[in-house]
Amino acid sequence: MRSLTALFLASALTAQADWVDLFNGKDFTNFGGAGKTEQNGYLAKDGIIESTPRCRNLMTEKEYADYILEFEFQLTPGANNGLGIHYPGKGDAAYTGMELQILDNTAKKYAKLKDYQFHGSLYTLQPALRGHLAPVGEWNFQRVTVRGPRITVELNGVCITDANLDELNKTHPKHKGAKRRKGHICFAGHGDVIRVRKLRIAEISFEEDKEEAWYQPAGKADDKLAGLGFTQLFDGKTTKGFVQEEKHKGHWTAKDGWILHYDGKSGDLWTEKEYKDFTVVCDWRWTGENSGKRNQPVLLANGLTKTDANKKPITAEIVEYDSGVFIRGSSRTQINLWNWTIGSGEVYGIRNDGRQPLPIRAALTPRVFADNKVGEWNRFVITVKGERLTVVLNGKVVLHEALLPGVKPQGKLALQHHGNPFEFANIFVKE
């Protein structure tokens, strides 16, 4: 039997292999110029891309939807460039797509910049936090995460931009690029010299939202799921098929012929059977007391905690509800149910593990907030196949084929106790 350490290392290596070098250090392969050392006013030499006074758009051959992009860049005095996102390949990248500013905003000629023109800003759409550029001539490290409607920019370890395109489309309805969710990546040159190195990308894929009716909470006993090949785990009358210690009995009870009610005063409820690869469906809602007001971290799309200019975590006050679904017999692979700002569906135990590569943590962070209001029914559709996890909440794909490092090959399912009254219903599984 392989050790957990071996499983972790194997999984980590798999995740790291998902990184692709966009620039090979020699030529413009991946930018439509295989074998070329000059392309659209950019030079490739000694592991560095350098723009020239002739530079315009340097565009990737491939289009990208959701990804983490990392690179280092060096500015020259007064330099102006940009990073085009979701660029369709024609027109001004700042408007047909979107452009993140790459700019020496310390230059005197930029003394009267608008707030959305400073480095890292989403041009015309959202300003960036200032003051984190290294001095001109020094190398900066930048990480850009694009996931669904969210774009975040980290500069030298500080998050300087966290944009929600759905919200920006409301305030900037005429901006065509903000409506796009896929396109080329490009460096949008303006005739100034910048240098770029160590350019790499990790794609984070997910499916479109699920429109079928059975992906939505029924609000009653659901008679459709059995016809779709699912087996009922909760019969609506008893807790048969689940394991309860004697001291826990009476806290998880059947209600109204289809609801599993929990009073918030016992322990987790585990299935008798273990599962390997499966899809489980369950409806859930909060029904009673909360855990009071809490200041919980605000998460970025890449799974990291949002920080302020002093690198202190940013929190938001919430009225906390908390539960979850354990898969493969482990709390580490718990799919969280809670009303944090990130929404339900994240795998906290792995997402919060700083030892994990960033693509793994990002993929285990909900790409959208899909929770219904407290007290209303929600539906999870959770699919586990090998080491991959997909979570659909109320028809929204919040995680898609996310890697679970060190996950057990099989194990029991559990409904988590976290001190809050809670109800589940329509619990079905398909192996």
pLDDT at 8 exceeding the cut of 70: no
Q: Which residues contact 34 (CB under 8 A, 6 or more apart)?
A: 27, 28
pTM of the model: 0.79
Percent of the chain with pLDDT over 90: 79
Are residues 221 and 193 both part of a single domain? no
Confidence of residue 2 (pLDDT cuts 50, 70, 90): very low
Pairing of strands 183-188, 80-87: antiparallel
pLDDT at 418: 87
Q: Which residues contact 5 (CB under 8 A, 6 or more apart)?
A: none
CATH number at residue 241: 2.60.120.560
Are residues 369 and 227 both part of a single domain? yes
Strand boundaries in 339-395, DSSP class E: 378-385, 388-393
Rounded to 5°, the CA angle 148-362-130 comes to: 80
Give the domain-ending residue among 203, 232, 266: 203
Are residues 192 and 234 both part of a single domain? no
Would you say residue 236 lies in a domain? yes
Name the residue with higher pLDDT: 360 or 197: 197
Domain count, the chain: 2
Instruction: Specify the 3-state DSSP secondary structure of 15.
Output: helix
Confidence of residue 257 (pLDDT cuts 50, 70, 90): very high
Would you say residue 11 lies in a domain? no
pLDDT at 339: 86
Q: At 361, phi and psi to the nearest 5?
A: -65, -40
pLDDT at 400 exceeding the cut of 50: yes
Are residues 195 and 296 both part of a single domain? no
Are residues 340 and 290 both part of a single domain? yes
Structural domain for 195, as ranges: 19-203
Are residues 86 and 197 both part of a single domain? yes
Q: Residue 361 is encoded by which pair of tokens?
A: 């943590």
pLDDT at 310: 82
Strand boundaries in 205-343, DSSP class E: 231-232, 242-243, 252-255, 259-262, 269-275, 278-286, 293-297, 315-319, 322-327, 330-338
Confidence of residue 42 (pLDDT cuts 50, 70, 90): very high
